[in-house]
Structure 1
Amino acid sequence: MNAPTGQELAVLRAKAQEDHRALRGRIDRLSDDAIDLILRGARSHYAWTDKPIPDGLLEEIYDITINGATSMNTLPARFVFVKTPEGKERLAKSLKPLNVKKMMGAPVTAIIAYDMDFWHELPFLFPHEDRRHLFDGKPEYCEDTAYRNGTLQGAYFMIAARAVGLDVGAMSGFSNKIVDEEFFAGTTLKSNFLCNIGYADETALFQKLPRFAFDQVCTFA
């Protein structure tokens, strides 16, 4: 893919700037209810109703997620939506015992992974400058970039799921090694974390745990 230049680039930049001004003209901030839905009032869930999630809704979540910012537009995250009984049984092998029920009860569990070879796609994702040389032959830098930005995308994914009316429950109590052996053997993908998705059964909730106050963890410089 060739990057636009000259007048074509100028037109595209002008449109991007005008689109952003128009967006800010339509909405200058989210409502308090919207903020509560995606973060402030949101909860991590452990039990689920049996209401199914249509594939189209998962596609919508992905379409929202993919627009979140990543370094050099690298977009290293990869998503596996585990929803079949067979897939769930394979995933269960990796879980700590207390997490098996949580995962099995969710309509879908997303494996949030990242691709160590993400940089091969840079001519498409970052066409105006070839930066593959920054990553070629540098596995530690590739891992650092993929993990950091893939984690960012995982957070975008959770917020996107909440924004379209779903509930989520992220999990790290599992073996990445077993997940990678079960789902990513022979590939350049590595698992990061798991995220159960569905419509929550709120009867499993307990009180929200404490949060730090601003002056406990924030400073100015």
Structure 2
Amino acid sequence: MTVALDPAAQDLLFREAHTAHTFADEPVSDEQMREVYEMVKYAPTAFNQSPLRITLVRSPEARARLVQHMSEGNRPKTSGAPLTAVLSVDLEFHERLPELLPRAPGLKDTFFAEAETREAHGTFNATLQAGYFILGIRAAGLAAGPMSGFDRDGVDKEFFGDGKQKSLLVVNIGKPGEDAYRPRSPRLPYEDVCTTL
């Protein structure tokens, strides 16, 4: 084995980790979420863009606002999770680039001057960060239930009315509940995915 992570860590992050569909009543604290973020914020994005924004939906009122925009099958999961995160892309991420990438101070006004370019780059990099976020949740000993089944326009109007953010993913977070996991679906073998040239 040439992987630096020990087998238990590999299982926690990858092999034994599943998408959770039910959650225990145990709360997820702000401190836990801060620790997750402080760990995953170091994962790479192009030009250190860091366009991901995380909206933690905790109060019953905010949850009701979110649940109405979830697809029918995702409503019970979202209602029952101790915490739900709406992951979105900040379409004005370029405004923070001078502090995040001080060696290229003009980048925000040149390469990212056009809104279409910003949205394409921001969406790609925020999606990368969403994957890191899910791994961070697993590393914290919590389960993640990522979902794409929701009305994006509805969520954007409900939570990001100023148009500066666009939702990408909704993730339920917590300790797994009863019958939280479905059987593992197959994955493609190495030979079907990897090509050496």
Q: TM-score range by the shorter chain?
A: over 0.9
Coordinate RMSD, CA, aligned: 1.1
Percent of aligned pairs with the same residue?
35
How far does residue 203 in structure 1 lie from its aligned partner after superposition?
1.6
What runs of 5+ residues in structure 1 fail to find an aligned partner? 1-27
Alignment partners' CA distance in 1, 2:192 and 2:45: 29
Tell me if structure 1 keeps the 8 A contact 2:69–2:155: yes
Structure 1 residue aligned with 2:56? 81
TM-score (norm 2): 0.95
Distance 1:202 1:220, change over 3 A: farther
The list of structure 1 runs, each at least 4 consecutive aligned residues, that deviate by more than 2 angstroms after superposition, is none
Which of the numbers 93, 96, 99 marks the counterpart of 2:68? 93
How far does residue 205 in structure 1 lie from its aligned partner after superposition?
2.1
How far does residue 74 in structure 1 lie from its aligned partner after superposition?
0.5
Alignment partners' CA distance in 2, 1:107 and 1:166: 11
Do residues 211 (structure 1) and 187 (structure 2) align?
Answer: yes
Which of the numbers 162, 175, 180 marks the counterpart of 2:138? 162
TM-score (norm 1): 0.85
Post-superposition CA distance 1:108-133 (Å, at most 9, x none): 11000011110111110000112111
Which of the numbers 11, 18, 28 marks the counterpart of 1:43? 18
AA paired with 1:92? V
Task: Report the secondary structure of 2:23's partner residue.
Answer: coil
Which of the numbers 10, 29, 37 marks the counterpart of 2:4? 29
How far does residue 202 in structure 1 lie from its aligned partner after superposition?
4.4
Aligned positions, number: 193
**In the TM superposition, what are the counterparts of 1:65-80 in structure 2 within 5 Å?**
65-80=40-55
Of structures 1 and 2, the one scoring higher in RCO (CA 8 A, sep 6+) is: 2
Structure 1 residue aligned with 2:162? 186
Do residues 63 (structure 1) and 38 (structure 2) align?
Answer: yes
Alignment partners' CA distance in 1, 2:94 and 2:181: 41
Structure 2 residue aligned with 1:111? 86
Do residues 144 (structure 1) and 115 (structure 2) align?
Answer: no
Alignment partners' CA distance in 2, 1:176 and 1:212: 30
Task: Report the secondary structure of 2:116's partner residue.
Answer: helix
How far does residue 215 in structure 1 lie from its aligned partner after superposition?
0.7
Alignment partners' CA distance in 2, 1:111 and 1:123: 26
Larger-gyration structure (1/2): 1
What runs of 5+ residues in structure 2 fail to find an aligned partner? none
Do residues 124 (structure 1) and 99 (structure 2) align?
Answer: yes
Structure 1 residue aligned with 2:148? 172
Structure 1 residue aligned with 2:27? 52
Distance 1:202 1:31, change over 3 A: farther
Do residues 135 (structure 1) and 112 (structure 2) align?
Answer: yes
